[in-house]
Structure 1
Amino acid sequence: MPTRLHESLPAERAGAPASPELLERRAKFAATEINPALGVTAGDADFAGVPCRTVRVGDRATVLYLHGGGYRMGNPEAYHAYAAGLAAGAEAAVIVPRYRLAPENPFPAGLRDALAVYEDLATATDGPIVIAGDSAGAGLAAAVVVAVDTSDVRTPDGLMLLSPWLDLHCSSPFYETATDAFFPLATAESARDDYLQGATADDPLVSPLLADHTGFPPTLIQVGGTEALVGDALDLTRALATANVTCTLEVIADQGHTWPLIYPDHAVSIASIESCVRFVRSIEADKVFE
């Protein structure tokens, strides 16, 4: 029997307890409300043993969305409103896993969960699959593509990244020049240390910016012009272009880290979600005409 994709990763390791401060910060990730007018069906589901929230309006595509939070915070309920807007616009099903968090569960636990869900979805449907995420979740999404590339599991049809954290060396000069204070260098380094706990940032499954990007699917990258992760977004765009991969980079002036999630009612946030909808729709169309 072939090895399941997530079982090919490094062995899981014991972690450390979350601090009281971190537990308090996690508690602030409150559920967001779904607009009833969108006609969304939301509920719980289990994929490969990983609990998930599903937000569904149709089945034109499946979006596997990996939430952000520095690998140590966040939950699917906090993404209800964002996922609903995406699902309604694309007439799609958005799956948001409750992957395990650091420091209790260091690398590769969260990635193992993401891969398990992805393989289950990829096996169950021939329809278009887009993998997406924000911040650390965007790093996980890109790492899933890296892992899939060395397996016989189908590659996702699209990759969609918001404010992507892709290099855990945290050496980009934008950490020093960014005016957005939401994800400063000290926070990035602390989250990295909680996630890695001795693993190396040189591993492309940790820092997917360092991977061979040949064979990556069409990719949409969105980043705020004032945030520290502009460098990661620019570097991935360059790497994908060099690898002859279709890629769109949207740098949104005067916006900070994950602005559509923090300020969902702002016009630029609504426009960013609309751009994601167009991207998923384009993937749907390409899949139909394959």
Structure 2
Amino acid sequence: MPTTLRALLPAERAGGPASPELLERRAKFIATEIDPELRVTAGDTDFAGVDCRTVCAGDRITVLYLHGGGYRMGRPEAYDAYVAALAAGAETTIVAPRYRLAPENPFPAGLSDALAVYEELASATDRPIVVAGDSAGAGLAAAVVVAVSASDVRTPGGLMLLSPWLDLHCSSPFYGTSTDTYFPLANAESARDDYLQGASAGDPLASPLLADHTGFPPTLIQVGGNEALVGDALGLARALATANITCTLEVIADQGHTWPLICPDHGDSILSIESCVRFLRTIDAGKLSTDGARVSRGLPKPDGRISEETR
């Protein structure tokens, strides 16, 4: 019998209430406005019983986007502007789950939601699927690939990570040398403890940097040169190279944690989105397969850039 992805996870556990301070911080994740010139549609949908935000600008591929927020904050509406730019540039559909947050729902609840959505998307369409995310959402995205690799569910066509938090041990030396104040060690450790609540940081489904990366799809990693997660990004790029997986690592000098979200009008943020669009179009064109072989689906070569009208 086929194995459902959720069956690969540890049992779910009861968590505790969020503090008033955390609730106040969550409230600051307000919806962002979508530029009407992008000509995308957005609305709430449901996949596998998980409420999702879907932004559609075409049907070339499907992107499962997992928002950041340290596993305890964030919501899809706060990413409307960012994912709309990605969707418009790549002419694709982006599905952003409203996954359960810690501390009310500790590991593996959020991952369980992400896997349920991925499994339904994989069964509902034969389009390529790219799993993507930022910060803790990037960790969830990589964990989705870890779980899928241990199952009979089809592997995603690509993995796209922004400022990925991939090792919950938080032991990288970059925590001590980072000049970025947005995601310091104290915040990382507090978020980790709220999420794990006694689960092991050594579990590859919690810290996907520690997984066996054999069979991972082509991957794009973006990280700011000033942030503490440079070590996580470097570690994954090294692991993928060792496993003979196609990988692009982009380190953007003088930028901090999730800069395209925090400073969307900065030139580096626009370039970051353009790079993501090129990556998505490459997956769409079938130019990269999970075994690194070159293939072609006979599609025209895209220029991969976002026009002035879609910025």
* Cα offsets for 1:70-125 (capped at 9, x unmatched): 00000000000001000000000000000000000000000000000000001111
| Counterpart in the other structure of 1:83 | 83
Q: Distance in 1 between matches of 2:91 and 2:234?
A: 30
Shift of 1:261: 0.2
| Counterpart in the other structure of 2:286 | 286
RMSD across aligned C-alpha pairs, in angstroms?
Answer: 0.9
| Counterpart in the other structure of 1:173 | 173
Q: Distance in 2 between matches of 1:89 and 1:267?
A: 16
Shift of 1:5: 1.2
Q: Distance in 2 between matches of 1:238 and 1:248?
A: 11
Dislocated runs of 4+, deviation >4 Å: none
**Equivalent residues of 1:145, 1:155 under 8 A apart:** yes
| Counterpart in the other structure of 2:92 | 92
SS in 2 for 1:227: coil
Q: Distance in 2 between matches of 1:18 and 1:211?
A: 30
Shift of 1:36: 0.3
Shift of 1:286: 1.1
Paired AA for residue 88 in structure 1: A
| Counterpart in the other structure of 1:240 | 240
Shift of 1:6: 1.4
Q: Distance in 2 between matches of 1:165 and 1:28?
A: 21
Shift of 1:3: 3.9
Shift of 1:61: 0.7
Q: Distance in 2 between matches of 1:7 and 1:93?
A: 27
- The equivalences for 1:24-103 within 5 A come to 24-103=24-103
Identity value in percent: 82
| Counterpart in the other structure of 1:218 | 218
Shift of 1:289: 2.4
Q: Distance in 2 between matches of 1:30 and 1:51?
A: 17
Q: Distance in 2 between matches of 1:286 and 1:144?
A: 21
* Residue segments in structure 1 that go unaligned for 5+ positions in a row: none
* Residue segments in structure 2 that go unaligned for 5+ positions in a row: 288-294, 298-311
**Equivalent residues of 2:3, 2:151 under 8 A apart:** no
My pick for the range that moved more, 7-16 or 216-225, is 7-16
Query: Is 2:144 the partner of 1:148?
Result: no
SS in 2 for 1:199: coil
Q: Distance in 2 between matches of 1:277 and 1:6?
A: 30
Shift of 1:245: 0.2
Give the TM-score taking structure 1 as reference length. 0.99
Query: Is 2:121 the partner of 1:114?
Result: no
Q: Distance in 2 between matches of 1:120 and 1:169?
A: 31
Q: Distance in 2 between matches of 1:130 and 1:241?
A: 19
Q: Distance in 1 between matches of 2:230 and 2:119?
A: 30
